[in-house]
Amino acid sequence: MINKKFGRLTVLKELEEKSNSNKVYLCKCECGNEKAIRGDRLKNGNTRSCGCLQKEAAGRRTVHGASSQWWYNRYSQMVQRCHNPKAHGYENYGAAGVYVCNKWINDPWAFGNWLIAEMDNLGLTEKTINGYHVDKDLLGKGYYGPDSCVLMLAQKNSALSATNRMKKCTLKNIETGETVEFKSFSDAAKFLECSNSTVSKYNGKVYLEWSIN
């Protein structure tokens, strides 16, 4: 269980206490909170965050005015493909561990104002922004947020992910020390049964029992 991920929660350690004879684990949430959570609730998917997911969902219903802005479709599609399992493209985003930062989830205007500042930098207007995408990969962070994204032309964006797919990659099993080399991220992704973007996201870091280099 240790280091396993359930939604936003990563298991840190088993606690001494039990709850109705169930094991209890200390978990770290992506939002930074630590919380004790019953193992059965992690395993059956009942608990997937420290409570911040529910708060965010409630917050989303009460943000006014943003939905009539020209940038709202971009915002909404980004949030949907990361956080709604039924949305188009979810398998390559949310299911692959890509998420939108709390600041943007809680406040569409934070995204809108960031986008407009980026457009100013590039000299773009509402009419000339077509073809430009919010890119989360160039800076190597792999999530959507003001410090991890840049606005760039779509062709450049897909060329970048194509080179990423072709990058060589070594997996090391952190328990046994066994290493396996792959000629591309795609091959490593097949081996791990995850997506290319997950390999890209975890590059240099630990993914389940494997570290990806």
Contacts of 198 (CB under 8 A, 6+ apart): 96, 97, 189, 192, 207
CB of 55 to Zn ion, least distance (A): 8
CB of 170 to Zn ion, least distance (A): 32
Applying CB under 5 A, among 31, 87, 119, 150 the residue interacting with Zn ion is: 31
* Nearer Cβ to Zn ion (52/96): 52
Rule CB under 5 A: is residue 199 a binding residue for Zn ion?
Answer: no
* Nearer Cβ to Zn ion (49/157): 49
Binding mask 43-82 for Zn ion (x = CB under 5 A): ------xx-x------------------------------
Q: How many residues bind Zn ion (CB under 5 A)?
A: 6
> Are 87 and 81 spatial neighbours (Cβ–Cβ below 8 Å)?
yes
For residue 148, give the nearest of 189, 99, 106 by alpha carbon: 99
* Nearer Cβ to Zn ion (33/211): 33
Rule CB under 5 A: is residue 29 a binding residue for Zn ion?
Answer: yes
Contacts of 52 (CB under 8 A, 6+ apart): 8, 29, 31, 33, 102
Contacts of 138 (CB under 8 A, 6+ apart): 150, 152, 160
For residue 150, give the nearest of 160, 161, 164, 136 by alpha carbon: 136
Under the rule (CB under 5 A), what is the footprint of Zn ion?
29, 31, 33, 49-50, 52
